[in-house]
Structures are given as C-alpha cells and as structure tokens.
Amino acid sequence: MDICDTGMSVAFLFPGQGAQHPGMLHALPDHPAVARTIIEVSETLEGNVLDLDSAEALQSTVSVQLALLTAGVAVARALEEEGVMPLAAAGNSAGAYSAAVAAEVLELHDAVLLVKERGERMSELYPRGYGMAAIVGLSEAQVCNLVRQVRLAHAHVYISGINTPSQIVISGSDAGVDSVVESALRNGARKAERLDVSVPSHSPLLQPLADALARRIRTVRLREPKKIYIANVTGRALRNSAAIAQDLAQNIAHPVRWHDSTIVLQELGCRLFLEMPPGHTLTKLVQAAFPELKAFALAETAGSVTTPGRLICRCLP
C-alpha cells in the first residue's frame, strides 16, 4: 500500500541523542532531497557532514546532534517530496530542532548553527563525569522518590524524561545516576541501564545553557509553523513561533514529557507515526502506548525509499 493513499494523518518523529550509530548518514536513502540536505548542512558547517558519523566522530556530543539533525531533516524532506505530508512533527531532545525545521518554523541553516552551539556548550559545561540512564518498570513517583533520596546524599541526579508511565529517564553525575540505577533494580525495576549520552541533558544543571540558547534564538528569524509542533517541556501542541522558540531553548533544562506528546498526537488524529532515521525507540513507545496505531521506524524498514515518483512503505499491509 502507498503511504500517500492511506488517508491517515501522519506524525513525523525525530529521535534524540542515543539513537546514533556509526555509518548512519551513509545509510540514508538515495534520494535527491537527501543529497541536497547533506550539501546544505556541509556548506553551513564549512566541512563535510558525512565525516561526522564515524565511530570516532560520534564520541562527540556535537557530532551526534548534527548527524541526527541531518538524518532527520533529510528523510523528512524526501518523504514530503514523495507526497507524505505530516500533520505534526515531534522531536525528542535534540530532535526538537529537526521537528522545528519540519514544521517550517526554523530554516535548516539556522538549525545547524543552533544545534552546533548547543552541543558545544553542553560539552564545555560537562566534558566528563555525567550521563543519563533509563529505568523500566517503576512509576514516575517511584523514581522521583529514589532520585530525591540520592540527591539528599549530595549527588546530582534528576528526572529528565517520561517516555511512558513506567519508563523514566534520569540524568546527572555518574555517581548519582549509578546510585539511582542500583536502587531502582533493588526496588523492582525490570531494567535500569545507562544510555549512550555523556551529558546531564534535561536537568537544571543545564539551565545556563537554556538561557544562552534563548538569547541566541532571539537573533534568528522564525516563521509561523505550517505543521503542528509538539513541545518537549509541556508535551502540548504549539502553533506559534514564539512558543516554539521557548521550547527549543528551555527543553535542555527540563524533563521531556514524551508520553504526553504521544497522547496529544493521538488526540490530534494522527494514526500513522513515522520515525526518522536513525531511531527506533520512539516507534516502540508509540506501539506500547497505542497498539491500535501504525508506527514505523524508517531506519528499519526495507524498501522505505522511493519508486519513481511515489514513496512506498512495504511494511504497510
């Protein structure tokens, strides 16, 4: 079945840091929109963005975020050129900048420079000794209690994301994160493990960066969105550029309400969720929350490129 003929309202999902893998940019579909996006990002960076997806390069937070932006925007543009028009766009963490480009609020050139600055400042603030972890099987209230106990012991750790009612992300110092992980496992968590992220994203530790980004975004020309943008901080639908600018700046210092975002997309009428490469986690979260909806990770879908003039997603029945 052709995506263009399903009659479903579509949501584009953009993964954040942790989804990256070596070779991710070289694995993108062979499509003119992808090629043009790679050229545009490379010209903005004054260097070849394809150099950023090696195992060595992806040790850098800056490279990871720029590679994610490039991959997400490139495939979203290819989809739109093939007639797949989203009702809404939602990005997790750094993926919010890709969502803002997809919503046509932010020009890609400006998004590249903002993401580069965001990654550089994150690395400067916390070059080592910090990170994130995901806890599965405990509620937000239970994890909040564990976090509070560890923080009372003078270790920096915070709730940084609510992916589902029983999948909670934390961030902070290595000591704080490790202590909460150990405590979560002792208290019945099905799984608790560190993520491939080396900074304390979405915590008050990054409020200085959020403030700097807010000042920087005020210098950028934003347009009113042509698609609905889903906020990280509140999980709500945003339809004006000023509110989106605030979310882009402040999400780095606040927990990502991803589960709320998924509910809002469903309430808006989205029935087909397409996760841009290189991720698959957001697809699994949609499937867990709303098994009746269709959600696909394009990075894992054979044939999710183009036939002449039309995009065919062979995974659809």
Residue 293 pairs in a beta bridge with none
Examine the residue annotation and report whether 93 is marked as an active-site residue of this protein.
yes
Q: Which DSSP string do the residues of 247-279 spell out, in sequence order?
A: HHHHGGGS-B-HHHHHHHHHHTTEEEEEEPTT-
Q: Is the peptide bond prior to 200 cis by the omega test (within 30 degrees of 0)?
A: no
Q: How far is CA 6 from CA 103, 150, 249, 274, 291, in A?
A: 21, 49, 36, 13, 18
Looking at 93, 160, 166, 201, which residue is catalytic? 93
Looking at 31, 202, 259, 280, which residue is catalytic? 202
Q: Return the ∠ at Cα 269 (arms to 264 and 83), rounded to 5°.
A: 115
Q: Sign of dihedral through CA atoms 288, 292, 297, 301?
A: positive
Other beta carbons less than 10 A from residue 133's beta carbon: 22
> Cα separation of 49 and 96, whole Å?
19
State the catalytic residues: 93, 202
